[in-house]
Amino acid sequence: MMGRRTAMAGAAAVVAAAGARGAEAQPTSLRPGFDDALLVIDVQNCFMPGGSLAVPRGDEVVPVVNALAPGFRIVVLTQDWHTPGHASFASSHSARKPFDVVRMSYGNQVLWPDHCVQGTPGAELHKDLVVPNAQLILRKGYNPRVDSYSAFLEADRRTKTGLEAWLKAKGIKRVFCAGLATDFCVAWTALDARRLGFEAVVIEDACRAIDLDGSLDKAWAAMTRAGVERAVSADILV
């Protein structure tokens, strides 16, 4: 358990440091418009209760996302999509266990339980997620040597997923983020969105967090400093 706490604290510190470079969010209209997109982050079976890397109450985001999605012109779904034996898996490292931290070529890496392996049931989107108007499913983390939390950049912080260019080609200026987990993949995505020039809103009740040793509060503080707006689904008139 100490290894898990240390790992999560370290990852949360990275999020906090990234947020320190931003600016305070300004109140704006939350009605989705032509230049808005909904990003639904990693609503996959492995992150659900009973999954190999479960986020507490992760399944509760599904009906909220289903209700929100019809109000957006552009909807993107993301999936963790790891190769078997991925470098971020503890099982790929001798004498290591989940939530240990090791040094990779791109920096410190939390070692996770095996999860979201390509083509397995755990990598599938939740069966009750119904978003027929999604135009793009973006799969990340498939480089066997590099992890990927953000929907925009892999963990080496250099390799782009292509989402930035795709959204800008569609005329998107603001992204609304939902999914799992608030304090990790959702936060990294929102922070990168701001860094890349998008406005960003995180829909709190459409996300769930790991929230270990204060990681959720740290993530929200970082996002606020970066100019990410915080909202709930009732604020969004769809």
Active-site residue list: 42, 140, 185
CB 184 within 8 A of CB 16: no
Q: Angle at the Cα of 148 (from 176 to 45), degrees rounded to 5? A: 75
Contacts 24+ apart (CB under 8 A), 210-214: 210/8, 210/55, 210/56, 210/181, 210/183, 210/184, 211/56, 211/182, 211/183, 212/4, 212/5, 212/8, 212/9, 213/5, 213/8, 213/9, 213/12, 214/9, 214/12
d(CA 47, CA 79): 11
| Burial label, 103 (beta-carbon count in 10 A; 0-12, 13-18, 19+) | exposed
Closest CA to 207 of 7, 41, 83, 9: 41
Closest CA to 182 of 207, 215, 201: 207
* CA distances to 6, 84, 153, 154 from 179, in Å: 24, 24, 17, 18
